Structure 1
């Protein structure tokens, strides 16, 4: 167990992506002349969030073109404007979070889309994180510790994970692996309002042992001020106790969970936090070895738009299910 944890902390970024990205849509895009953001690296959750057929279907997809072509303006009238805002931000090299509702055959999807442009080894890239807020993360499946370690190594070394980015590198397998590690780490650190944190599951209170640069930016804490503390530091009297109970229950049951929390920064400024937590189980599937948490910061107007959108999408899903049940 100690050796497994040591391996885990040596490749934190890869492990958190392998654990969380069955549910979360993580991708790295190229900044092309048309500013459509063609996808060079994508996770399983990215394809799922966009309703694509096949786990690798996101590769080479022109992300902004896909969002515009599938935007559901009947639910979200400003969806096309949101896509245009993402394009403008990518063009100017600015980070941005937008709400985009897509139509697909089984159900509409309300997506929180966050982009963060960055430069790595002379390449102009854009990190992307997509959260399908109507999806249940418990249905996406999580990785046990050994699986996560294997998936992380595969993600860093498999050529399709850096498709289109290796032209300026040597053909040495070691160079590919090193590039995979470094570009994924750079992408995770590029986010401004998306944070990642890791905590060992066998320590009471789940004190955080690692946080990303984005976590520090969105919470206002320094590493010294937050490491070895748990996320209770972000809570206040207005934080929903039921949501906190659900997070605690996900640790007790070993299942993923997503909640919307009112949190406060170190400076006392409130914000809405779309928090997703992913416990990773032992090989036996009974003990939580560590937890990955992903936080997406939202201001109040954005959160209100999201809530209205979720209600509409939920009503459509329930109505569709009712019609299907009546037809049987």
Structure 2
């Protein structure tokens, strides 16, 4: 996550809500509506390039935010952090939200709730795409979609330039290797080959990640829960395991694949590993959560 210092300063000093700062005067962690409105603001901030959502006191915790995002929005989104700040002499929580990468957050379920007087409200619609319009989180306009695409293109260009710089600064006599294989599958794609017996060497070739890594996080959770004995895990449990055990596409490609656009995908091997770890230590997920939270102490 980028340095939140400037956003936290804006959140502490803002007189009113804006595109980058949402000020909530109240928040009841027991009220479904407050959680749904909070999730809508987080999603809109992420889709709009990032910002801060301010909640009074220290009533909001990281885990239920993850749980509500996992329950209502896609793709998987974890790029936010909680910070304790002071506004007008009162303690508040600032949820600093990074810009979403690749694919915007879209609501997969309707966010319907009743207020204290029993009146029905819809915080967001199924399939809804929300952005910040001044001080409000509202449905997307054509300009929002255009601006989102432009931000993604700019990020891609920056990555290209970084890659080009790496090539330009490669050591003397370094070579770019083009690998050709005569073996192809029925669709004309190169089959997977290994050019060395070193298990840590890079792989050349192509496999279908939808076959090798068929699960999204929600499906991983469902699959793991069907195999655990009278217990269940949630999105925050899986996130904690991934963070504590440093499971990424770079470190454990057999477990996770991150497509260019969309949510990370996970393999059967990852599901098997989670179940095996739990069988070996019934407190495996509990320990992972404690370890992750220890690294995420509110600042």
Please indicate the TM-score interval, normalised by the length of the shorter structure. Answer: under 0.3
The TM-score normalised by the length of structure 1 is 0.24
Which is helix-richer, 1 or 2? 1
When you count strand as a share of all residues, which structure comes out higher?
1
